[in-house]
Amino acid sequence: MMVNRDSDWTRMFNRRAAVLAGGQAALVSALVGRLYYLQVIESDRYKMLAEDNRINMQLLPPPRGRILDRFGQPLAINQQNFRVLIVPEQAGGLPKTLDALNHIIPLSDFDRERVKKEAARKRGFLPVTVRENLTWDEMSRIQVNAPDLPGVMIDEGLTRFYPKRENAAHLLGYVAAVDEADLTGDPLLQLPGFRVGKEGIEKIYDMGLRGKAGASQVEVNAYGRVIRELERVPGEPGNDVVLTIDERIQQFAAERLGPESASVAVIDVNTGDLLALVSNPSFDANAFSRGLTTEEWKALSTNDHKPLVNKVVAGQYSPGSTFKVVVTLAALEHQVISPDQTISCSGRYNLGSYVKRCHKVHGAVNMTRAISASCDVYFYEIARRLGVDKIAAMARRLGLGEVSGIGLPGEQKGLVPTEAWKKSARNERWSPGDTLNVGIGQGDVLATPLQLAVMTARVANGSMAVKPRLVRPATGTDPESGPGAGQEEFTALGISAEHLSILKAGMFDVINGPPGATTAAAARLHFKDPDKRDWTMSGKTGTAAVRRISIAEREAGARDPEELPWHLRDNALFVAFAPSHQPKYAIAVVVDHAMGGGGKIAAPIARDIIQKVLELDPSHKPRVDDEQIASNTPAQPA
């Protein structure tokens, strides 16, 4: 039988062709299905991915909120900042372009090396900052020479500026570049050149002052180069912070201190508003904003007058005889002596074999005379009768031994010693001699100038435990109206009005008493109210030793301060309130290592400042300024 080979081959070919065609159909079906899946079902997802590759979002830093005084005068603002940038790939040789730029504006070797290193790290089309804070002339010269400076461009931004420079620098603080400790995940902190608050109000209210970032939507190519801006949403400016400070008083107080290492606190005795907080010497906060040079930092950090320390809240001083205010009220409350009872001062006080001395022989003195003449013997005796714990309890009621609550960085709480404190801190028993030292504000007792001002304000107020306030809660700039004006809700002071009257009579005589009975006659006011009546101030002097004086030195008598090195001279203190008949303002002045005591050095400073405060009081002289800030209703601080 014959086999048809052609027929078998044909059938085999047809089968193979069918299998191949089926395979091709399957592949085409899979390809079509995949294309359908990608282009139809997953179209939205891949469209979004494509848009993300084509469009970038860039954060825009918001303007930082302003810091204003109680009348809306600017203390910290934002200033136009011209920067010169360079795009390395357009420069046609970076070193050559930098050389050409150096002929127009000075570039340090540090700037040149920094630019080269930054350009090496970045892509060639990304701009690198060459210099910031250009003057108008520098910016103009660069613009005129732009054709000869390939890749160089001018950028405009904002930088922090403090119009009063040294004035209120400790209070305001400053802003500086973000460091590792500041990173919290906030994208704003990643922006080049972004600044955060480092000290003072700038640090306390940093989050509210920052504002909210804006955004710029830009189209980029495959290499990330910006082609055009599609949309821009500006940032939301930070909140303004309105302080209780009156910049006129702040500046006057700073100028009055002159070259002294000193501090001043001025407070409204009814509201607690702080009108001035001055620490001298100061520094230019703008230098920190732009970045200190090595020479500037060395000059500040090695200065023995400590310009970087905010002495008004961080300086802890023996209050000296200003502490006799506390001892007087404690003695009256516990009835260890009557106001008319006298104690004889022979110039020395004996406690067994322990001898304490007074600065002069006063004879028989009652309470009012002891305050006005600042008789140490009198206060040694009533301190002995009281004991330290009763004195400490009164000191705390007057605001000593605790932080004020205004929140400034570095604030110290001072020290009000007790028997239990000495046992705990030093594992030593309290001695009667310790009590005598505390009785005249020496020994272990310490206070800040702000605490001394609060103490005086509470005495002047008489009924309420006034607390200091640095930031106004009102949204308006008028300090006499709005929800932040008027009397705060303070707790009752709980001290007898009669006792306060006795103390105030002695403080009145400190300045205004008969000849020979005063310790601060030089502090008498020269101020008349609108009805042409003379106003007076009441106060208390203090002179605090900063070293232990040997018996031999005491026997030889007081040395002229000019004979001593600066750091061994006594501190001069003075606290006061005015007007005496209706107290409204209190002040504390501390002069470090002064050329004399509190009555000679600190009291005249306080007199001049209080006189200025009274002259500028809104009830006598409403503020009218030609210069007006951009907005009269800054937002409430966050």
Residue 192 forms part of a structural domain: yes
The answer on 193 and 296 residing in a single domain is no
Q: CA nearest 448: which of 407, 406, 413? A: 413
Give the C-alpha separation, 445 to 424, whole Å: 16
The answer on 224 and 353 residing in a single domain is no
pLDDT at 624 over 60: no
The answer on 288 and 211 residing in a single domain is no
Tell me: the pLDDT tens digits for 322-337? Answer: 999 999 999 999 999 9
**pLDDT confidence of residue 9:** 67
| DSSP 8-state symbol, 522 | G
The mean pLDDT value for 143-154 works out to 81
**pLDDT confidence of residue 340:** 95
Q: How confident is the model at residue 512 (pLDDT cuts 50, 70, 90)?
A: very high
pLDDT at 243 over 50: yes
Give the C-alpha separation, 415 to 325, whole Å: 16
Q: CA nearest 218: which of 56, 353, 95, 356? A: 56
- Would you call 43 exposed, middle or buried from its count of C-beta atoms within 10 A (0-12, 13-18, 19+)? exposed
pLDDT at 602 over 90: yes
Which structural domain, as residue segments, surrounds residue 479?
Answer: 247-300+310-615
3-state SS, residue 513: coil
Q: Directed axis angle between helix 376-386 and helix 388-397, to 10°?
A: 100
Give the C-alpha separation, 282 to 200, whole Å: 13
* Residue 162's CATH number: 3.90.1310.10
pLDDT at 285 over 90: no
Tell me: the pLDDT tens digits for 445-502? Answer: 999 999 999 999 999 999 899 999 999 874 444 444 333 344 457 899 999 999 999 9
Give the C-alpha separation, 153 to 17, whole Å: 70
Work out how many domains the chain is built from and give that number: 2
The answer on 439 and 391 residing in a single domain is yes
* Residue 541's CATH number: 3.40.710.10
Q: How confident is the model at residue 104 (pLDDT cuts 50, 70, 90)?
A: confident
For residue 628, the tally of other CB atoms under 10 A from its CB is 9
> Cis peptide before 579, with omega less than 30 degrees from 0?
yes
Tell me: the pLDDT tens digits for 353-399? Answer: 888 989 889 999 999 999 999 999 999 999 999 999 999 999 999 99
For residue 615, the tally of other CB atoms under 10 A from its CB is 13
- Tokens for 134, please give them: 């250009």
Residue 441 forms part of a structural domain: yes
* pTM for the model: 0.80
